[in-house]
Amino acid sequence: MQEMGGDDKKIHTLDMEMLGKADVVVAEVTQPSLGVGYELGRAVAQKKRILCLFRPDCGKSLSAMVRGAEDGDTFIVKDYKEPDADEIFKDFFRKVEAKK
């Protein structure tokens, strides 16, 4: 088994620092990623507002752990096509601002 390099710790520490400072998290979740899943879990634990974007036309399925976390308020999952992304962002951030 290969040892973890020192860079792994630095990446984790930096990512967690940035997450701690963030007001919201936006994640493109079409490509499965353990790292993104971990960050989303930490964001939920920190009560961050989350927007996950998934492209259903890619031939993949979205994890039930992500889709099932949607609550319509603080954790939003949107199926999208690229031309729709700007409007999804505007709507999400409008709602974030309204909750402040």
* CA proximity to 79, closest of 55, 44, 43, 47: 55
* Local structure of 49: helix, strand or coil: strand
Q: According to the model, what pLDDT value does residue 2 have?
A: 46
Are 22 and 47 a contacting pair, CB within 8 Å?
no
Q: According to the model, what pLDDT value does residue 69 have?
A: 97
Sign of CA dihedral 42, 18, 97, 32: negative
Q: According to the model, what pLDDT value does residue 99 have?
A: 85
| pLDDT tens over the chain, length 100 residues | 345 556 999 999 999 999 999 999 999 999 999 999 999 999 999 999 999 999 999 889 999 999 999 999 999 999 999 999 999 999 999 999 998 7
Q: According to the model, what pLDDT value does residue 1 have?
A: 33
* CA proximity to 74, closest of 43, 38, 39: 43
In the block, residue with structure tokens 């290969």 = 2
As a whole number of angstroms, the distance between CA 15 and CA 40 comes to: 12
